[in-house]
Amino acid sequence: MLRTTLTDPLRWLMAVAIGAVMAGCSTLPSSSPESAANAYAPDGRALAPIEPASIYSLEVRTTAPAQDIWARMRSGFGMPDLHSPLVGERERWYASRPDLMLRMTERSRKYLFHIVEELERRNMPTELALLPFVESAYNPNAVSSAKAAGMWQFMPATGIDYSLEQSAFIDDRRDVLESTRAALDYLQKLHNMFGDWHLALAAYNWGEGSVGRARARNQNAGLPTGYLDLRMPDETRGYVPKLQAIKNIVSNPRAFGVELADIGNHAYFDTATIARDIDVARAAQMAGISEADFRLLNPAHKGPVVFAAVTPEILLPWESAQTFRSNLANHRDGRLASWTVWTAPQRMALADVAQRIGADEQELRTLNAIPRNMLIEGGSALLVPRTSAALADAAAETIANGRLKLTPERRASADSPRRLTVAARKGETVATLAARYKVAKADLARWNKVAPNARFKPGQKVVVLQSARSAKTTPAAAQASKAATRTAKAAAPTAKQAKQGQPTKQAKASAQTGKTARTAQAGKTVKTAAKTPGKATNKTAAKTPTKATAAHKPATSQKTRVATANSRTAKQ
Catalytic residues: 135
Q: How does DSSP classify residue 521?
A: P
- Torsion sign (Cα): 375, 380, 382, 388: positive
CA distance 189 to 243: 19
Closest CA to 296 of 187, 98, 119, 136: 136
Q: How does DSSP classify residue 125?
A: -
Contact (CB, 8 A) for 57 and 234:
no
Q: What are the b/e assignments for 406-428, b being 16+ CB within 10 Å?
A: beeeeeeeeeeeeebebbbbeeb
DSSP element (H, E) containing 244: helix 239-251
Contact (CB, 8 A) for 110 and 316:
no
> What Rg value do the Cα atoms of the chain yield, rounded?
45
Secondary structure of residue 171 in the 3-state scheme: strand
Q: What are the b/e assignments for 343-367, b being 16+ CB within 10 Å?
A: ebeeebebeebbeebebeeeebbeb
- ∠ CA(51), CA(56), CA(59), 5° rounding? 95
Residue 47 identity (one-letter amino acid): L
CA distance 484 to 525: 14
Contact (CB, 8 A) for 561 and 519:
no
Strands, E, within 358-455: which ranges?
A: 374-376, 381-385, 406-408, 417-423
Distance of CA 25 to the CA centre of its chain: 84
CA distance 285 to 275: 17
